[in-house]
Structure 1
């Protein structure tokens, strides 16, 4: 079995620069808890989205196992649109209700999912039989999970915490089990304006 630990990043301080947005003071404290929870999971490698908030959330476990973080563009957050949308809730509902729809210069669910799934399948193939932490973001994480099991949908995304950890157990590329490791952090409703 290959175990992927998808880590939805901790709370971040909003900046317009998606790639450089850092964790907030609360996010830094919660990231320490992420490290503590993963210490007993016999992690072999750590992979992350290139976004700073995702890297910061998993860098503690990377230091603990004394491994460099592998940066993977495929795990970056989905681009909803080129500019901030007026009604985030309605914008996200629209893309989830129509997988091929995209806002201007944004990614459709179908496009973002294909990117994330490709990265996931590559990890499963390259690190077969290993325990891999993946630092990522709420929407792309759920889109990846949705590919393997459609019960992981918009409502599931709304239930996510920030941070959150889900352990996905795979036999080759077949998803066999999903287990939530943590419920630390704040609810999705508190995070809507902060982005995922």
Structure 2
């Protein structure tokens, strides 16, 4: 199975209902053109508005529906305002069971994305398009390329598109806007 994984386009914030910026809306249109010739058994998005709006132009172009799966939602590092969030996030890449108040550990987030992938495989999909968020995308890639960590997360942009061949455990970057 091949997963084409998209990090959402530029958004106005981190809240679940944050819309895309004007630039993000154009990126979503460009992404639709980029993906136009590809076939996917299904399109699945994070429930966050910015993720759904990222793939909406493609879905409209293809006249296909967008499935929503909560397991593609962004990972919450902590429910508290943390001025040291960046260094704490870096720590979680090395200490996978480290968990901050109200947050999700790297281990838990990887378990969540693994259950999602296992379900896709059980449905015998050959090619799936997903839209998610930077941190969860980096952890998904890390499952197949253990060298992909915090430093690589820092280099992600909005949007990035990666293809993951689950059976070959191969990851390749397809597109960056």
**What is the deviation of 1:20?**
0.8
Q: Distance in 1 between matches of 2:122 and 2:58?
A: 22
Q: How many residues matched? A: 177
Structure 2 segments unaligned to the other structure (5+ residues):
none
What residue is the counterpart of 1:6 in the other structure?
A: 5
Q: Which of these residues, 161, 165, 170, is aligned with residue 161 of structure 2?
A: 165
Root mean square deviation, CA, Å: 1.4
Pairing 1:55–2:52 present:
yes
**What is the deviation of 1:127?**
4.2
Q: Distance in 2 between matches of 1:177 and 1:48?
A: 22
What residue is the counterpart of 1:178 in the other structure?
A: 171
Given the two structures, how large is their TM-score scaled by the length of structure 1?
0.85
Runs of 4+ aligned residues of structure 1 deviating over 3 Å after TM superposition are none
Within-5 A mapping of 1:27-66: 27-66=24-63
Given the two structures, how large is their TM-score scaled by the length of structure 2?
0.93
What residue is the counterpart of 2:116 in the other structure?
A: 119
What residue is the counterpart of 1:141 in the other structure?
A: 137
Structure 1 segments unaligned to the other structure (5+ residues):
185-196
